[in-house]
Structure 1
């Protein structure tokens, strides 16, 4: 085991035991070096690894904000690792697509059930209050519909459309409430954006593709909003597979 790996193991042990929690500041390099019985260079290398993994945020200097703070952003490490593996050819784009299908179809079902539960709860409140003005659709997809409305601007630039497209998919996974799926999706985001951009660059009729994607996104959100888990998941799968076949297949 490399010396810096022993430092990583000690930090992991400290996290598991509750010695340090999110938001805490780790001891200084000197303090960790003395406590672990290793060189400051080994501590510094371990901190670089933790920063790349998205576990800490480091600030230089000697003020109150200096040092390493535990933040735990798993997508940071996942994103860089996935991008490198896709670029090297070790992780084919098709594998990224299949991972999306697994995560996003499950997420669609979960979001649909959440929306159905919110609508049922809202209906009970309306019935109890007999307030006609209070009737409406549950707000579970408000943020997603706001993103879609921006995408439906016919004057939108292609790059902005693609950014919002990725943001919409991340939002739906986030709504499902599984933190590991959300982190994985955030990690996949750059790889997804890159293969989508590649596909769009090959598309001879961008306006037609944009209309298709807008329609598919709206159909997905409406199905989820109705609480139709099976239809929502089916539409998500067709949407992801359809773009892959059209643009990259």
Structure 2
């Protein structure tokens, strides 16, 4: 007998979500571009065939997600905004808070993004970009005795310098979002860990290895060092089962 398909439960969709979906789709397809205006609220009520309250709720969600901007008293419709990482950052934080995106999943993404950024930076970096990385490493070294917050700021500066040197805007944006989300989940534990200085010194050592590899133009070595660094720094904050997923990204 032929196996029946495995159906999934359906959920009711609120009317305002249908409006949001249509506007998001139009933006993604290029039918709506930054600077363009949506129709007025009254016209949207007519076009969507729904109530003013439903349209207003949809516009509120779109504005909260950073897709449109409405000005009080403006007779024109809401303005389509250019893409920024703010909306993506907000969505990832929301996913993390609702436990739809686990720390292990975030760490896998970060390990992959960092490794790619380092490979590209080793080949594409300029002397000025390398100097920026070296300055960030110096700050990390000086910050070990100052505490986790100062060390973390210098750490972020290093990764931002590497991401810029990769020459890929999507890597820059995605890496920043994932990195900030990971830190928001574990910063308190890291800052108050009894061996925090040991962790920082170990992280600094790995970062110095990354810098040496980038300076030498050795992309694979830079990728390996960063992946190992992230594993050593964060693996203790996930379960043993999840740790196997992280280990799969480590080169033997």
Q: TM-score, normalised by structure 1?
A: 0.72
1:187 matches 2:177 = yes
CA-CA distance at 1:238 after TM superposition: 1.0
Unmatched segments (≥5 aa) in structure 1: 119-137
Q: 1:108–1:176: 8 Å Cα contact kept in structure 2?
A: yes
Match of 1:102 in 2: 112
Number of aligned positions between the proteins: 226
Q: 2 CA distance for matches of 1:25 and 1:151? A: 46
Q: 2:27 & 2:33 partners in 1: Cα distance?
A: 6
Change (3 A) 1:16 1:230: closer
- Structure 2 residue runs of 5 or longer lacking an equivalent are 1-12, 240-252
Conserved 8 A contact 1:166-1:193? no
Inter-partner Cα distance in structure 2 for 1:18 and 1:246: 44
Q: State the 1:243 CA deviation.
A: 0.7
Change (3 A) 1:212 1:65: farther
Cα offsets for 1:86-109 (capped at 9, x unmatched): 334443322221121111112211
Per the alignment, in what secondary structure is the counterpart of residue 153 of structure 1? helix
The answer to whether structure 1 residue 147 and structure 2 residue 136 are counterparts is: yes
Corresponding position of 1:72 = 83
Q: Secondary structure at the match of 2:119?
A: helix
Bigger relative contact order (CA 8 A; separation at least 6):
1
8 Å contact from structure 1 (residues 109, 229) kept in 2 = yes
Aligned to 1:52: 64
CA-based RMSD of the aligned residues comes to 3.2
Asked if residue 200 in structure 1 is aligned to residue 190 in structure 2, the reply is yes
Over 3 Å counting, the alpha-carbon distance change for 1:38 and 1:65 in structure 2 is closer
Post-superposition offset of 1:192? 1.3
